[in-house]
Homo-oligomer: A and B are copies of this chain.
C-alpha cells in the first residue's frame, strides 16, 4: 500500500485545491500556527484529560522497568526530544531512529518517521508497548500497574467519567496533553500575521531561498511539514517524501541516510522505499541533531545536506547563513508547563 508517489505532486494538488483563488495575490503556502491542532471527535480535549496526560507523561511507572517516563526521551525542557542521535529505550537497546520533537505533534496526519501510526492515540499506545521505547508489557499489565496507584482512579474519573483504567484511555489522555504542546507566536508567525518587519533582512533572504530552491515543496503550511488534517489530507493519510532524493550525493556516503528504508519497512511496498514523513521545521533550532538517524549535528550542515542530497542545489555560505537565520525564526513560544505531582 504505497501511500503517495511524490510529495511534490501532492503539493500541486494541494495548491490547486486549497490555495488558488481565496488566498489572493499575496499567495503563500504558509499559515501561522493556530492555538490548537485539529481535535478528533473521538477524543475531545478537556482540562482534566490534559492534566491526566501530563501526569502520565512524567510517570516512569508506565514503563517496564519503572525507570522510563515519556519525559526521558521527549524532554520538555529540551525541544521535547533528547538531543541525541539515537536513544536508549527502556529495555536498554538503541532506538532505530532519532527522537522527533513533540512540540506541535498534533498537526501531523500520520506519526513516526515511517508513518506507521495513523492517529496520535495509536502512536502513543504503540510506543507504550514497543520494547525499546516504554516496554510496558501488555495492556493488562500496564493497566493493572497504574490502577494499583491510589489517586489515578480519581484522575481517570475526572477525565473519562468513571475510574476504568485502560491502555487506550492512557493513550487518549497522553494524546490530549500532546495536542496542547503548541508553540505559538514565532517570529515567522508574526511575519505571516502581517508584521513584515518581524523577519530580519537575512531571514527574509533565507525565506526567499527556502521557497525558490524548493524546500517549500514539502515544508509548507502551518508546521512546515505539509498538510494538516482536513487540508488535502485526512488524519491517517501520509505526506511522505523520498529521502535522500539523490543517494549518490556525497553526504549520503558520510551520513548513511539511505541505509534506512523508511516506510518500506512498514509496507514492504517497493514504492515506499526510503519514503519518510516530512518532519516539521518549527522549533528546528531546538531539535538537533537532525534527520531520521540523527547523523547531522548542526542546522547549517542539515541545510547544506538537504540542498545537496534532496534538491541538487549547492547553497553558498551566504545562502546557508540566511536559510539558517530563517529557520531560527520558526522557534515559537514554549508554553509554561508546571511539573505535575504524581499520585503515590
| Residues of A in contact with B (beta carbons under 8 Å apart) | 55, 58-61, 66-67, 69, 71-72, 75-79, 82-84, 87-88, 92, 285-286, 288, 334, 336-342, 344
Contacts and interface: CB of A to CB of B under 8 A. Distances in A.
Given A61-B83, A66-B83, A72-B72, A77 B288 contact: no
A58 B285 CA distance: 18
A58 B75 contact: yes
Nearest to A333: B341
Contacts of A87: 67
Contact of A77 (B66, B83, B88, B339): B339
Contact of A342 (B55, B58, B77, B342): B77
A327 to B, nearest CB: 12
Contacts of A340: 77
Contacts of A88: 67
Given A337-B338, A337-B339, A59 B84 contact: no
24 contacts: A55-B77, A58-B75, A58-B77, A59-B77, A59-B78, A60-B75, A60-B78, A60-B83, A61-B83, A66-B83, A66-B84, A67-B87, A69-B77, A71-B71, A75-B342, A77-B340, A77-B341, A77-B342, A78-B342, A288-B344, A337-B338, A337-B339, A338-B338, A338-B339
Contact of A339 (B72, B76, B286): B76
A295 to B, nearest CB: 15
Nearest to A88: B67
A239 B144 CA distance: 41
Contacts of A72: 72
A93 B140 CA distance: 30
Nearest to A336: B338
